[in-house]
Amino acid sequence: MKSTSPIPSQAPFDHQAIRDQFPALKQTIGDHHLCYLDTAATSQKPQAVIDAMNEYYQLNNANVHRAAHQLSTRATQQYEAVRQQVAHFINASKSQEIIFTHGTTESINMVAYGLTPQFTPNDIILIDTAAHHANIVPWQELAKRSGATIKPIPLTADAQLDIKAYEQLLQAKPKLVALCHVSNALGTVNPINDLIAMAKNAGALTLVDGAQAVAHLDVDVQNTDCDFYVFSGHKMYGPTGVGILYGRFEQLNTLTPMLTGGEMIKTVSFDRTEYGELPNRLEAGTPAIAEVIGLGAAISFLHGLPREHIHAHEQKLMQYLQAQLLNLGDVSLYGIANDKRQINVGSVAFNLAGEHHQDVGILLDQQAIAVRCGHHCAMPLMNELNLAGCCRASIGIYTNKHDIDQFIQALNTVKELLL
């Protein structure tokens, strides 16, 4: 099957050629061209990803690791090649440190469950107040099972992680620190390398939720030096239903498997079962084969892009988006650093005057503007900001200036209607 080729990295930067790779963006809704500003919820998929998954189902559909026939051999080779791709993508030291899951949520649950025997009632877990619920609830369940205590890491007035408060909390020698790399609700970026180094000095295990980071930032887990790093395929132009749990080999090897059964075993009898080696030990059952192959196609697509140009393009768009929202008036932005030391990554959170975020979202949708409205699976953060919820506009590699202008024009129409 012929696949749409990614843009060669040595070619001049042609943003329209990149955008043309995404068929969903070519549609109209009613009388309006689709303006997709909900990439933080899920990214659109390039044709190369769609083609790769179709090719698997049409030509190579077989289970992996379990048969001698050629279809299974081809499927297994493709599947395991993606493990190597992911390891290279985040600079893991070995492919056995890459565990395929169904997404970020399952990855964190797998770690939280697997660490349970290592926790006692005397242990403390620190969690970023801006964390997604998926990086809160699994640790609460671990605390219920073990008796450990959870303590949130406070934020500053401009919704950045409070470093001084973090330093004080680390004095209690927590067992684990759970952080987000980039806030899914606000787009704020944590200084992960510094935060991880501080946690390690305190003797803590560390897990980083990178779901919102991997599509926008270059991730190097060896440089970051975290124990676990997790993310989802569908937020980085790959399919839904596949995610990654990276862990240091020695840490992954200590996890109690959350799922047991086929594939993850070495020997089974009615007397006892011996588990297999990593990564199989943590991958029970038939995996999401097509989705893993689609993830591999997404990584290949990203590697074929001029990354420096993409980073610059996204940052320029974020600056433009923030400026246009402020120029519109009657708009509140959240999580924008007062000292402007950084531009947020991927997302801008806002509300229109005192209007309900859901009303704003519905009226934008009537003009084919897709944004997310609500608490963004970050209710503790919303409580910290004294908000019931907010709107979020988020960009991707396909977003262009026209999208921002179309969005601002539509939001101005909403403003005129409601205010």
The CATH class given to the 53-303 domain equals alpha beta
**Domain 15-40+306-418 is of which CATH architecture?**
Alpha-Beta Complex (3.90)
What confidence score (pLDDT) does residue 338 get?
Answer: 56
Predicted TM-score (pTM) of the model is 0.95
Whole-angstrom CA distances from 393 to 74, 331, 369 are 41, 13, 10
The per-residue pLDDT for range 15-50, each reduced to its tens digit, is: 999 999 999 999 999 999 999 999 999 999 999 999
What local confidence, expressed as pLDDT, does residue 7 receive? 45
Q: Which pLDDT score, from 0 to 100, does residue 340 have?
A: 52
Assess whether 390 carries a catalytic annotation: no
Task: For the chain, give the mean pLDDT.
Answer: 94
Which residues does the chain have with pLDDT short of 50? 1-10
pLDDT in the model for residue 61: 96
Residue 414: the pLDDT is 98
Of these residues, 35, 226, 377, 391, which one is catalytic? Answer: 377
pLDDT digits (tens, 9 = 90+) for 290-309: 999 999 999 999 999 998 99
| In the chain, domain spans | 15-40+306-418, 53-303
